[in-house]
Amino acid sequence: AECEYELNIYLTSILEELITEKSQEINTIDQIMKNQKGIGTALQAESANELIQ
C-alpha cells in the first residue's frame, strides 16, 4: 500500500507537469493568433488609407 501511495504521488506530479506544459502551449498559440489578427487589422487599415489617397 505504501508503494502504491508513492507511485500515485509520482504519477500525479508527472500529470501536473504535462498539464502545465500543455497550458503554456495553448497560451502561446492564443497569443500568436491575437498577433496575427492585429497584423491583419493593421494591413486592412493601411490598404484603406491607400485607397482614400
d(CA 10, CA 3): 11
For position 17, what pLDDT does the model report? 98
Domain of 29, in residue numbers: 22-53
Residue 11 lies in a domain: no
For position 53, what pLDDT does the model report? 84
pLDDT digits (tens, 9 = 90+) for 5-41: 999 999 999 999 999 999 999 999 999 999 999 999 9
For position 18, what pLDDT does the model report? 98
Residue 44 lies in a domain: yes
Residue 17 lies in a domain: no
For position 1, what pLDDT does the model report? 80
Report phi then psi at 22, rounded to 5. Answer: -65, -40
Q: Enter the pTM of the model.
A: 0.65
Q: What is the DSSP letter of 53?
A: -
Number of structural domains (the chain) is 1
